[in-house]
Homo-oligomer: A and B are copies of this chain.
Amino acid sequence: MSYSRHQLIALLRKHGIAPTHQRLEIANVLFSRCEHLAADQILTLVNERHAETSKATVYNTLNLFRDCGLIREVIVDPKRVFYDPNTQPHHHLYNVDTGEITDIPADDLTVSGMPELPPGMVTEGVDIVVRIRAL
């Protein structure tokens, strides 16, 4: 679960991302704890020891990581985007009361009856969100 500094450097390099101090800090936060974190949580965590990463860099970096396929976005909360270090196809359980997001392995859930796509269109992904609630 915990990555060494040069494992993180290798991970970024593999995705064509130059490893800077800030990017490594952000990657470390994302990959060490395997949770679904929002930008402002990442900003806080990264500056926990001593402040050294700006808000702009956190947003820049998350967008870069996303564009390079290192992480993916999870769109369940209309208020903020969550970032998921797990880019394997999988789905999410969303507790609407607490906001907690839990993974559902892809092979547990099967979807059948996918509609025909308009010609010239390809599927980029299928996201399933199971909204749950207490009671």
What separation, in Å, do the CA atoms of A123 and B95 have in the docked complex? Answer: 9
The interface size of chain A toward B, counting residues with CB under 8 Å, comes to 38
- For A104, give the chain B residue with the smallest CB separation: B115
Tell me how many chains of this kind the complex includes: 2
If the complex has contacts A96-B124, A131-B127, A132-B124, are A110 and B113 also in contact, measured as CB distance less than 8 A?
yes
Chain A positions 98 through 135: 1 when the CB is less than 8 Å from some CB of chain B, otherwise 0: 00000010011111111101101111111111111111
- The CA-CA distance from A134 to B121 in the complex, in Å, is 5
Question: Interface residues, chain A, CB within 8 Å of chain B?
Answer: 73, 75-78, 80-81, 93, 95-96, 104, 107-115, 117-118, 120-135
A95 to B14, CA, bound (A): 29
Q: Which of B78, B112, B115, B130 contacts A126 (CB 8 A)?
A: B130
Given A75-B77, A78-B75, verify A111-B108 contact (CB < 8 Å).
no
For the complex formed, measure the closest distance between the CB of A132 and the CB atoms of chain B, giving whole angstroms.
5
- Contact between chains at B112 and A123 (CB < 8 Å): no
